[in-house]
Amino acid sequence: MTSATPDSFSSARPDAITLGPVAWAKKNLFSDWFNSVLTVVIVTTFGSGLFRLVSWALTTAQWGAIPNNFGLFMTGTFPSALYPRIWALLAIVCGLAGLSWGVLGRNVSTLFSRSVLIGLAVVCAFIILFPPTRPSSLKLLPMVALVAVAAAAGRQVARKFPGVGQLLSLAWFLSYFVALWLIGGGLGLTRVSTNDWGGLVLTLFTAVSGIALCFPLGLLLALGRRSALPIVRWLSTGYIELVRGVPLVALLFMGQVMIPLFLPLGSRPDRILRAIIALALFSAAYLAENVRAGLQAVPRGQNEAAASLGLNTPMTLGFIVLPQALKIAIPAIVGQFISLFQDTTLLSIVGLAELLGIGKSILANPTYLGRYAEVYLFLAVIFWFFCYAMSLASRKIEEKLNTDH
Amino acid sequence: MAHDSGGKSFELKAMLRDERFWKIAFQVITLIVVLALLSFFLGNLNRNLIQQGRAFSFNFLLSQAGFSIGESLIQYRPNDPYWRALMVGLGNTLTLVAGGIALTTLLGVVAGVASFSKNWLLHKLSRLYVGLVRNIPLLLQLFFWYFAIYGALPRPEEQINVLGLAFLNNRGVYIPWASSAVLAVLGIAATVGAAIAALWLWQWRTKIRIDTGVGGQAQLTALAVLGLVWLAIITLGMNWTVPEGVEGGGVTGGLRLSREYVAALSALVFYTSAFVAEIVRAGIQSVSKGQWEAARTLGLNAGMVMRLVVFPQAMRVIIPPMNSEYMNLTKNTSLAFAIAFPEMYSIATTTYNQTGRPVEVFVVLIATYLILCLLITLVMNQLNRTVQLKER
C-alpha cells in the first residue's frame, strides 16, 4: 500500500527542511574529515587575520587623514567658495535618480518595501554617524529625502503618463551638460580651470563621459566587424585587434603626448579631454567585442525574417537585431563599463587628480606620511561601492528585460 | 531625346535604389573618410615633428642610454645603448608575465573550484574574494600591496626569518635559489621537459589501456624513473644556496625578489585570479548535471568526478576566455611602472623623456605588447585545439 494515490498529489512546494545550528554545522562544515580540517584551517588563519585587521583598524590606524581631507577626496582642489555648485549638481543627480527609480518601479506594489526602508535608514545613520560625512550631514540628509520624494512623485506621474520615461532619458542627457556647466563654469558662472577638477567628481565625470563616448563607437565597430562589406570589416577588425593588444596606460600616456602632435600646430585640447578620448577609444574596442558576441547570438532567422518583410539593412539592424543583441550583451557591456570606471584610476599616472591621484597627493603631505593603508582602504571602499552598484543595476535591468518564460 | 533622358534618370533612380550600388558606395565613402582622417593626422604629425626638428627615425636606439636600471636579467650598464635598456625592460616584463600566468592559473583554478566546495566557509570565502577583488581597481590594489603590505614589513635590521629558508624585509623577499643563473635556467628547463615527458607518458599509458584493457606497467615504471631523475636533478644538481641573514640587517645568498617585483606580482595575481575564478566557475557550471550524476553512479568519488569527468569538459569553455585573461595580465604588467618596477613600459617612458621621441617609442612599445599577446594567443589556440570535442 505504498503506491501514491492521485489525491495525495499536491501542487504546493514541499516544506523546506530547516536544520538546527548543530545539524547545519555538521552538514556544511564538518561533513567528513577533509571538510573538518578545511574548516579548522580557514577559521584559524582567516580568523586571526580578521582579528589583526580589526585590532589594527581600532588601535594603530590613524584615520584622521580621511575626515580632514574629505573635501579633497570628493572634489579635489575645487575652490571651496564654489561648493554650492557641486551641491546643486548632487541635488540634480539625486532628483533624477529618485524620479528614475519611481518610474521604473511604477508597477511594483509598494515602492518603499521593508528592505528599502531599512536601506534608507542605514544610509541616514551612516551620514549622521560616519565622521567624514558628519559635518555635511545637514546637507546630505535632504538629498536622501529628495531621492525618496522624487521617487514617490515619479511613480505617481508615471502611472498617469506612461510616456514619461523617454522624457527622463532626455533629462539625464541634458543633466550631463548641466553638470559640465556647474563644474566648469562659464555662461554666468565663475570659470574653474580643469586643473582644479578632481577627486570623486572628476572620477565620475571622466567615467560617465568615457562610457557615453565609447558606447556608440563600440556599437559601430561591432557592426563594422560583422558587416558583409569587406573594407568596413577589415578596418573595424584592424582597429579592434590593434587596440586590444596595447596596454591602456601606454595609450593614455602617449595620448597625452601624441594627440597634440596629430592635430594642427598649436591646437592643444584640454588634458582631461585627451584622457577621456584615450579612455573611450580604448574601451570601444573591448565593447565592440562584447556587442559582437551579442550580435552573433541573434539567430540568422531573425535577419532573414526582417529581410522578407522588406526591411532594409539599417532598419533590420535598428528594429530587429540590435535590440535583441544588446539585451543579450548587457552583462558583458556593464562589465566593460565597470572596468572603464576602474581604469579612470590610471589618469592619476598622467597627472590628473582623480580619486587615486588625490590620494597620492594627500599621502605626499608630511602630516599624513605613511598612512597608506588607511587612505587606500577608504578609496577601495568607494570604488567597490560604485562598481558593485553598477553590477547590481545590470542584474536588475537584465531581470526587467528578460522575456523568457 | 525626351525618351532618352527619361531612361537615364530612370537608370539613376534604379541605381540609387539598388543595394549593390550602396554597398560599394558605402565602402568607398568609408575608405575615403578614413584615409582623409589618417592623412590629416599623419600630415600634422609630420609637420609637427619637422618643426620640432625630429624627423621619424629609429637611430636613437643605438645611442647611449645613460640611465641605470635597478634590476635586470641581462648584463646592463648605463653606457649601453637604448635598445639594450629596452631589452632589460622586456626581460623584466617577461619575468612578471611568466610568474603571473603560472600563479594566476593556480590561484584562479583553486578559487573557482572552491566555489563548488561542500564546505560552506570555503564556498563563501571564494565568493567573497571574487566579489571584493573584481570591484576594486588594479592600480589601487597595486599601491596597496606595495605601500601598505610590503612597505609595512620591518626594516632589514629586524627582518622576518621564515623557517631559516626565506627572509622578508621592506626591501624585498629572499628565497633559496640555484647558485648560478645557468643552473637555474637548466633546472627550469628540466622541470618543463620532465612535465611534458610525463604528460606524454601518461597519455600513452591511457591510450594503451583503452585499446587493450591491460598493460601500461612499463610506462608507469618509466614515469617513476623520470620522477626520480627529475628529483635528483633538482635537489642535487642545482647547487641550492639558501639566503642567510647578516648580523645587523641584510641578507646574503639566495635570490632577492625586489619589493617592486613581489608587489606587482601579488597585485596582478590576486586581481586576475578573481576573473579566472569566475571563468572556471562558469566553465564547471556549463557541464550538465547529468555528467555529475552519471559519474557518481559509476562510483567515482567527489575528487575523481571533478578531475576525470567534469574538469576535462569544462576546459572547453574555460580555455578561450583564459586567453584574454592572460593577455590582460600581460598588458597590465605595464602598471608596475607606477611602483617603479623597471619593466618595458617604464623603460620606454624613460627613453621617451630623454630622447623626446614619442612616436618611435610608441611604435616599439605597441609592437612589443602586440607580439607578446600574439604569442599567448598562438599557444592558447594550440591548447584549445587539444581540449576541443573530438568529433568525426
Task: Give the CATH number of the domain where residue A346 resides.
Answer: 1.10.3720.10
In a domain, A55, yes or no: no
| Contact: B48, A29; criterion CB under 8 Å | no
Q: Please check whether residue A39 lies inside any domain of the structure.
A: no
A177 and A226 part of one domain: no
Residue A91 to residue A53: CA distance in whole angstroms: 37
Mean pLDDT of chain A: 86
**Residue A24: inside a domain, yes or no?**
no
- Cα A117 from chain centre: 23
Within a domain: residue B187?
A: no
Query: How close is the nearest chain B Cα to the Cα of A380, in Å?
Result: 6
Nearest to A39 by CA among B6, B121, B336: B121
Interface of A with B in 339-398 (CB under 8 A): 342-343, 345-346, 348-349, 356, 360, 363, 372-373, 376-377, 379-380, 383-384, 387-388, 391
* pLDDT score, position A80: 83
Instruction: Specify the pLDDT at position A8.
Output: 53
Contacts with B369 from chain A: Cβ below 8 Å: 245-247, 250
Query: How high is the mean pLDDT of chain B?
Result: 86
Residues 294-313 of A with CB under 8 A from B: 312-313
The residue of chain B nearest to residue A37, with distances taken between CA atoms, is B119
Q: What is the CA radius of gyration of chain A?
A: 26
- Nearest-by-Cβ selection for B362 from A258, A260, A345: A258
Q: How many separate domains does chain B show?
A: 2
Same structural domain, B7 and B128: no
- A70 band by pLDDT with thresholds 50, 70 and 90: confident
How does residue B308 score in pLDDT terms, banded at 50, 70 and 90?
confident
pLDDT digits (tens, 9 = 90+) for B191-233: 889 998 988 888 888 888 888 877 778 888 888 998 998 888 8
Put simply, the chain A residues between 22 and 41 with a CB less than 8 A from any chain B CB are: 28-29, 31, 35, 38-39
Tell me if B113 sits within 8 A of B306, measured CB to CB. yes
Of B34, B117, B131, the CB nearest to A235: B34
Same domain, A319 and A226: yes
Can you tell me the distance from the alpha carbon of A314 to that of B31, in angstroms, rounded to the nearest whole number?
A: 19
Task: State whether A222 and A369 are in the same domain.
Answer: yes
Among the partner residues A42, A235, A265, nearest to B30 by beta-carbon distance: A235
Chain B residues within 8 A of A380 when measuring between CB atoms: 136, 140-141, 144
Cβ–Cβ of B140/A380 closer than 8 Å?
A: yes
Same domain, A102 and A228: no
Q: Does residue A54 lie in a domain region?
A: no
Three-state DSSP class for residue B70: coil
As for the ipTM of the complex, it is: 0.87
**Residue A99 included in any domain:** yes
pLDDT of residue A1: 42
Q: Tell me if A22 is assigned to some domain.
A: no
Q: From the list B23, B135, B362, which residue is nearest A254 (CB)? A: B362
- Looking at the structure, do residues A82 and A106 belong to the same domain, yes or no? yes
- Residues of chain B in contact with residue A263, where contact means CB-CB under 8 angstroms, are 41, 44
**CB contact (8 A) between residue B122 and residue A373:** no
Does residue A18 sit within a domain? no
> CB–CB of A28/B120 below 8 Å?
yes
Tell whether B223 is covered by a domain. no
Cβ–Cβ contact A45 with B under 8 A? no
Cβ of A376 and B147 within 8 Å? yes
Residues 77-136 of A with CB under 8 A from B: none
Q: Please, which pLDDT band fits residue A75 given cuts at 50, 70 and 90?
A: confident
Position with higher pLDDT, A190 vs B282: B282
**B24: containing domain:** 2-51
pLDDT tens, B285-294?
Answer: 888 889 989 9
- Mean pLDDT across the stretch B300-323? 86
**pLDDT beyond 90 at B33:** yes
User: Which residues in chain B have Cβ-Cβ distances shorter than 8 Å to A349?
Assistant: 139, 338
Q: Decide which of A395 and B269 is more confident.
A: B269
Q: What is the tens place of the pLDDT at every residue in B34-89?
A: 999 999 988 888 888 888 877 778 888 888 888 888 888 888 888 888 998 999 99
Q: Is B313 part of any domain?
A: yes
Rounded CA-CA distance A289/A293 in Å is 6
pLDDT band for B110, please (50, 70, 90 cuts): very high
Closest in A250, A346, A391 to B139, CB measured? A346
B208 falls within a domain: no
Q: Tell me whether residues B331 and A257 touch, CB distance under 8 A.
A: no
Residues A207 and A307 placed together within one structural domain of the fold: yes
- Which of A157, A192, A227 terminates a domain? The answer is A192
Indicate whether A170 and A310 sit together in one domain.
no
Distance CA A36, CA A29 (A): 6
Confidence at B112, pLDDT banded by 50, 70, 90 = very high
Contacts of B178 (CB under 8 A, 6+ apart): B184, B187, B238, B239, B240, B241
Q: Which chain A residues are closer than 8 Å to B152 by Cβ?
A: 373
Could you tell me if A194 lies within 8 Å of chain B, comparing CB atoms? Answer: no
A248-287 exposure pattern, b = at least 16 Cβ within 10 A, e = fewer:
bbbbbbbbbbbbbbbbeeeeeeebbebbbbbbbbbbbbbb
B337: which chain A residues are within 8 Å (Cβ-Cβ)?
A: 249
**Contact (CB<8Å) A250/B118:** no
pLDDT bracket for residue B178 (50, 70, 90): confident
Contact residues on chain A for B141, CB-CB shorter than 8 A: 380
pLDDT tens digits, one per residue of B133-177: 999 999 999 999 999 888 888 887 777 777 777 888 888 888 888
A246 touches chain B (CB under 8 A): yes
Q: Do A245 and B373 touch (CB under 8 A)?
A: yes
C-alpha distance from B131 to closest chain A C-alpha (Å): 8
CATH of residue B127: 1.10.3720.10
CA distances from B195 to A66, B198, B240, B387 (A): 52, 5, 21, 18
Q: Which amino acid is at A51?
A: F
Residue B178 lies in a domain: no
Give the residue carrying C-alpha cell 506621474: A157
Task: Provide mean pLDDT across the span A116-136.
Answer: 84
Same domain, A322 and A347: yes
> Which residue is it, cell 601518461?
B202
Domain stops at, among A148, A167, A192: A192
Query: If we measure between CA atoms, which residue out of B51, B48, B50 comes closest to residue B40?
Result: B48
* Confidence bin at A18 (pLDDT 50/70/90): confident
pLDDT surpasses 80 at A392? yes
Q: Is residue B372 part of a domain?
A: yes
pLDDT category of residue B1 using cuts at 50, 70 and 90:
very low
CA distance B278 to chain A (A): 13
Best residue in A346, A352, A392 for a mutation probing chain B (most B CBs within 10 Å) = A346
Strands (E), A58-107: none
B9 with B114, same domain: the answer is no
Mean pLDDT, residues B299-303 taken together: 84
Q: Which chain A residues are within 8 Å of B348, Cβ to Cβ?
A: 250
Total domains, chain A: 2
pLDDT at B6 over 70: no
Is residue B220 within 8 A of residue B205, CB to CB? The reply is yes
Range of the domain at A95: 77-192
- Do B383 and B261 share a structural domain? yes
Query: Based on the domain organization, do A290 and A400 belong to the same domain?
Result: yes
Q: Is residue A101 part of a domain?
A: yes
